[in-house]
Amino acid sequence: AYDLVGERIERPSTSDAPDAKFGVFEESFVFDHLTGNVCLAVAPLIPEDDPEQIGAKAIDHLRDLELKEPEGGDLTPISFESDPAEPFEDAVLKAKEHILDGDIFQVVLSRRTRVRLGNPNPVLLYQRLREINPSPYTYIFEFGDEALVGASPETLFSLYDRVVTTNPIAGTCPRGGSPEEDELLASKMLEDEKERAEHVMLVDLGRNDVRSVSRAGSIRVEDFMAVLRYSHVQHIETTVRGTLRDECDPFDAARAIFPAGTLSGAPKIRAMEIIDDLEGTGRGIYGGGVGYFSADGSADFAITIRSVVMKGDIAVVQAGAGIVADSDPHKEYLETERKMAAMKRALGVEL
């Protein structure tokens, strides 16, 4: 959860979300959506003497596997309520005062939409999000009457073969009605001094985070200011990589990079304090991370954005906008609306 930042700032707000939920998984079913095949990977926590016994157990489990259609409702929305524009825009003005006073350079403020569902169905929501907003990270986690469903475009951090990677996303514009309009809108975004300055600032922040756990001279910036397109928005993205120092492990990388600068601001600690003051309540899982640590030393976490938190019949969607000195409060409000659009559409809310 984003609220783990409470360990690093004074007087943190809290939410009813746990700081973290982890599981240890000995068996994993892997579905190949292209071929329709499924395999079972077994990684025993305590190695057994007979590898053939492990294989036989896996085969038995596969034979017992029964795929079922998801049960439940149809995600009928009964009502929805969004945080109003005025308080958010007032918070943007207060954030700009902090920027002009020299407290920070940039800060990310967020707002929520709450949807009451007649027939909650996390699996159906997951399927809809995959169709509406295909993204690098698509996930569903169910815990009793709670669920987290998301389609995140952004890597918090990954670690493979000792290479740490993060990909800051900063800079947003809407999709067009045609490829030509997409290109025009993207070009205007790339030429916008505000968008460029904000992106460069957050790439520098990501580079400093990665550098803190990487070997000297190993930092690389790749695909600088590339434009990637999603269902409702286009983003500017950059990739930052570094080689993990010998004395560091995946948990050190997570501590160095969490929370993402693109969900907090710069400088990070002061931005988090201002977020806590202006938002007035804990963010819960929004802006945190979802992913895994593997026994082989690898790790991969997405930033928990473009996600829906479901509890009982209530679904909560949250999105933020990066505030800088020349931000227009109403335009930042509209940016949060665009970022929430795919999730609201998946929930059946008419836009």
Active site amino acids = 235, 262, 286, 306, 322
Alpha-carbon span 14 to 30, nearest angstrom: 36
Q: What is the dihedral of CA 347, 172, 168, 224, to 10 degrees?
A: 140
Q: Give the alpha-carbon dihedral of 253, 258, 263, 267, to 10 degrees.
A: -90
Alpha helices in 33-172 (DSSP H): 51-64, 85-100, 122-132
Give the span between the Cα atoms of 239 and 219, in whole angstroms: 11
Instruction: Report d(CA 71, CA 49) in Å as an integer.
Output: 40
Residues, the chain, total? 351
347 contacts 126 by C-beta, under 8 angstroms: no
C-alpha 313/C-alpha 116 separation (Å) is: 6
Instruction: Please give the distance of CA 348 from its chain centroid, rounded to a whole number.
Output: 22
CA–CA dist 13, 7 (Å, integer): 11
Q: In angstroms, what CA-CA distances link 1 with 19, 34, 143, 259, 287? A: 5, 33, 15, 9, 7
Lookup: tokens for 289? 């991370």
DSSP strand E in 119-175: where?
137-143, 146-152, 155-160, 163-166, 169-174
Cis before residue 120, ω within 30 degrees of 0?
Answer: no
Instruction: Give the distance from CA 211 to its chain's centroid.
Output: 22
Query: Residue 19 carries which DSSP code?
Result: S
Tokens coding 129: 């999000």
